[in-house]
Amino acid sequence: MRRPNRTAVLFLLVGSLGFLLGAIFQAQDNNPITREMVAATENLIGLHFNEAKRDSMLDDLKDNLDNYQKIRTLTIDNSVPPALAFNPIPVGVKFDTKRKPPVWSAPTKMAVPQNLEDLAFAAVGDLAELIRTRRITSTQLTKMYLDRLKKYGPKLECVITLTEDLALAQAKRADEEIAAGKYRGPLHGIPYGAKDLLAKKGYKTTWGSVPYKDQMIDADAAVIQRLEKAGAVLVAKTTLGELAWGDVWFGGMTRNPWNLEQGSSGSSAGSASATSAGLVAFSIGTETWGSIVSPSTRCGVTGLRPTYGRVSRAGAMALSWSMDKIGPICRTVEDCALVFNAIYGPDGIDQTVVDLPFNYNPNVKLSQLRIGYLQSAFEKDTTNKANNEAVLAKLRELGANLIPIELPDYPVSDLSFILSAEAAAAFDELTRSGKDDLLVRQIKNAWPNSFRASRFIPAVEYIQANRVRYLVIQAMAKMMENIDVYVAPSFGGNNLLLTNLTGHPCVVLPDGFSRRGSPTSISFMGRLYDEATTLAVAKAYQDATDFHKKHPSLD
């Protein structure tokens, strides 16, 4: 879903008035930019100038167009960020810098089943204990998941590339290291899938898109490097909606394991589907505007969207430099904590990443925390009313004294073109080359049309929208002064877009099923860089329910 010198990229970032004039000028070759062209363009930007003012602009507009055309001669790779970096930190806010070792829950005492496939839905922590104690090997576990990927992956259309040779080599190395007493931690030997916008040397990185389906990137994404260092085993590159929108990619539509007639939602479509179906122990997804929350909801799994600037995006496809985030999709909250602990922190490349601790400890008392609930969103969400009310009742039962809250009152939905403008810049060459015609989805509500329309977003309006965004960030900080965590319907009101714009962390997890048997979800929102508390509260709720223990049947 929607979703350098560097100063030059700012002008490519948005389609200002000059871009329309540029298109007209290029179409008419040597014909000059005229007052009539300016007058026609004014309607697109909601302004009106008199004839004298239009006449005065003409030389500047021609100069701007010349600048644009010279900039367009440069090759700017998708990996190059703009020089203007988004900062989600409100004025005056300080963060705890004291580091404490994470506290993990005791693993479940599990016997090794005769049929190893019975472990397909086990939690990462439990699988880790079986591997650490050498009751199973990483190779055994990896082969089991590879078999399931081969069996069910085509049915779900959730895999772009099986990394079988790599996985078996990584599993073999993990087994040898563990046998030699070199245990790297709870992800050592654990098989996982990665959304195919993350680069891995030797394998295609397709971005789910026709123009890039044979793309090879000679680098490992920072997240892939971190997971390899932790000893995890990459078994598959999972599907994503083409260029990170929806669940339709160049090979088909990724399916919801609970209902094969339905897409898995997106854009982390394959990561959520494969995790839900027990084809991987966990997966990596990304979110710009709902791309972890939405497929996690549809597929009945648990996802963590970290704070903006927590996880390096180096080696990942850029869609929106000021909104993209990378996070885990798992079967349990603590699995998300385990994976996040391995991937967060600076890498020296992504300059937006902060160096702050992750002091996870699930041993919290809800009665001692200030937990809010988004009152109006709960009242208005009549579709999932019973499940939503059950969440609040369960939290109160666990000791929470719930505090009604409301989000800052700003026109949040009107800021969504920030994403559109940045995405159009990220795929500027695709649009200008005409290769956007190769994308699978060519309807109005799809990237090709959105990229083209976004060329006409004035640069001034893009900057003005980000100034309003600054105000929203300050207002959120004020609201969060009295709250440690708050709970909200996953798609309630403006919460999903607002918190993606402000960069706040979110844990989404199953809270029941609809009347038609489809999973539903609830979201816990935390303070900036405080994934630890957010995860702990979400875990307390999850431990008191069993929705995460229910799994789809694919046979």
| Separation in Å, CA 43 to CA 46, 47, 60, 72, 399 | 5, 7, 20, 26, 57
Amino acid (1-letter code) at residue 279: L
The token pair at 18 is 């000059």
195 flagged as catalytic = yes
In the chain, % helix, strand, coil (3-state, to 5) comes to 40, 15, 45
DSSP 374: E
Question: To which H or E segment does residue 410 belong?
Answer: none
φ and ψ of 224, to 5 deg: -60, -40
Helices (H) and strands (E) in the chain, counts: 19, 15
328-361 b/e with 16+ CB inside 10 Å = b? bbbbbbbbbbbbbbbbbbbbeebebbbebbbbbe
Secondary structure of 302-325 in HEC code, one letter for each residue: EEEECCCCCECCCCECCCCCCCCE
CA–CA separation, 362 and 533 (whole Å): 8
Q: Which two tokens stand for residue 246?
A: 């929806």
- Write b or e for each residue in 239-257: b if 16 or more Cβ atoms lie within 10 A of its Cβ, otherwise e: bbbbbbbbbbbbbebbbbb
Quick one: which of 178, 528, 531 has its CA closest to 338?
531
Catalytic residue from among 268, 291, 312, 490: 291
In angstroms, rounded to a whole number, what is the distance separating the alpha carbons of residues 204 and 187? 24
Residues 6+ apart with CB under 8 A from 147: 117
Catalytic residue, chosen from 195, 200, 237, 539, is: 195
The amino acid occupying position 129 is E
Distance CA 451, CA 430 (A): 9
521 is catalytic: no
Catalytic residue among 209, 264, 267, 450: 267
Contacts of 397 (CB under 8 A, 6+ apart): 544
Distance between CA 220 and CA 284 in Å, rounded? 14
Q: Cα angle vertex 239, ends 170, 232, to 5°?
A: 20
Q: Which residues of 449-485 are buried (b: 16+ CB within 10 A; e: fewer)?
A: ebbeebbbbbbebbeebbebbeebbebbbeebeebbb
Q: Is 265 a catalytic residue?
A: no
| Residues annotated as part of the active site | 195, 267, 291
